[in-house]
Chains A and B, each alone.
Chain A
């Protein structure tokens, strides 16, 4: 038997907060505890989805010559600010795919995520 995986620890702490701590709290403390449990859920999804997000950035960096993958979004922002890049279909599709993947990590229950998945089904994770 291997030692506990990081993802299992995240799940265990989430369950502890929701099932054992939360029922004893109310008001502001209950709210903050819910935020804490949700934050751990984000970390778990980030762990699972980060690689795909990086692949999108890597492809964009190559296509639009945006430098290192880690700097791609910043360099693209600056190019947009300077109006030195065309806002065409491929660029919009990259931004849509990227935002859909990021939102799938951050808050897949957000109504905009469902709308985005319906509007651009080929770009959704």
Chain B
């Protein structure tokens, strides 16, 4: 990835003259996903931008790490924006036929996404008060996007199929964890009859939310978007793994259930109950364990030999502990 290729992608079909890339910096990611921050200076004006690209396709589509094609992810942002969800503005969609693609370039919004800072810095004390309510409102807006209006690549699987896929993964990874099997049995035995079906963000959690002193600024990282029961997004946000040490604050480590549900109800006119949210917290905890195991598998197969992949495998036991705590008294 070079600044020259990036500049070329930005000037294609653009008569505004050749611009200059400044402070190009890779932010994060594994081998199959790159996120870059940079400034684009053109005609004396500088715009802070983000490039997301997936140069290699390392993960098959039935993997829990399977991500939307970035071109579909780019198509979701305007759909969410139309419902009043704060999201970055997409500037360029880079198809597979381009040097950098598939990927897209979007605005870089000012704000903080690091959970540690959002949960601890005095600067965000006011934001923390608001955030659970704002997350409820924002999720309700995302959920106004009807399942039949999203790009075809957005997964739309009934819950029984998703649970069967989780069993297939446990089998594929050698049935190594009795706790995972116990949890999957519970999920099968307690599966709710969802009365609603809509677009879900799929990864709506502390870490993917851009925050400033007043609270939520933008919802990032839509690559796990799919369709399903709206309670899933709320339960996921409350998963212990995404509370970053603040287990006493169930909503992302910053808020309580009542605020989240009040915000949701204010926009949607209804809200899931705590039992539904608990179900999806269990689902989320098992999902996190499967993500950890999938990362080890990627590492062992040679598909992605980065240290991060190997190391995340050891976080599997976090999911086991969360599952045992969540299921205590319910088995």
Residues on A close to B: CB < 8 A?
27-28, 31-32, 35-36, 38-39, 42, 73-74, 76-78, 80-81, 83, 87, 92, 95-96, 99-100, 102-103, 105-107, 109-116, 119
Contacts and interface: CB of A to CB of B under 8 A. Distances in A.
B181 interface: yes
Contact of B307 (A35, A80, A100, A111): A35
B28 A102 contact: no
B175 A112 contact: no
Given A28-B26, A99-B179, A110 B307 contact: no
A103 B307 contact: no
Interface of A, helix, strand, loop or mixed by DSSP? helix
Contacts of A96: 324
B311 interface: yes
Given A28-B27, A87-B331, A103 B180 contact: no
Interface in B275-309: 306-308
Nearest to A29: B26
Interface string B306-319: 11101100111110
A35 B315 CA distance: 12
Given A77-B175, A80-B181, A99 B26 contact: no
Contacts of B180: 77
A95 to B, nearest CB: 5
B269 interface: no
A112 B170 CA distance: 22
B175 A81 contact: yes
Interface stretch (B120-128, B217-225, B240-248): B240-248
Contacts of B266: none
B153 interface: no
B322 to A, nearest CB: 5
A99 B320 contact: yes
Interface residues of B, number: 38
Contacts of A32: 306-308
Nearest to B318: A110
Contacts of A42: 311, 314
Contacts of B179: 95, 99
A103 B175 contact: no
- The 3 lowest CB-CB distance pairs between A and B, nearest first, are A77-B175, A112-B321, A102-B317
Interface centre among A31, A109, A112 (most CB of B within 10 A): A112
Interface centre among B179, B307, B321, B328 (most CB of A within 10 A): B321
B176 interface: yes
Given A36-B307, A95-B324, A111-B240, A83 B185 contact: yes
Interface string B155-171: 00000000000010010
Nearest to A111: B247
B151 to A, nearest CB: 30
Interface string B179-190: 111100100000
B17 interface: no
B321 A110 contact: yes
A13 to B, nearest CB: 14
Contacts of A107: 314-315, 317-318
B47 interface: no
B25 A27 contact: yes
B120 to A, nearest CB: 14
B177 interface: yes
B174 interface: yes
Contacts of B314: 39, 42, 106-107
A116 B321 contact: yes
B35 to A, nearest CB: 10
B124 to A, nearest CB: 19
B217 to A, nearest CB: 21
Contacts of A113: 321
B178 A106 contact: no
Contacts of B310: 39
16 contacts: A27-B27, A28-B27, A28-B28, A39-B311, A73-B178, A74-B176, A77-B170, A77-B178, A81-B170, A92-B324, A99-B320, A103-B318, A103-B320, A111-B246, A112-B322, A112-B325
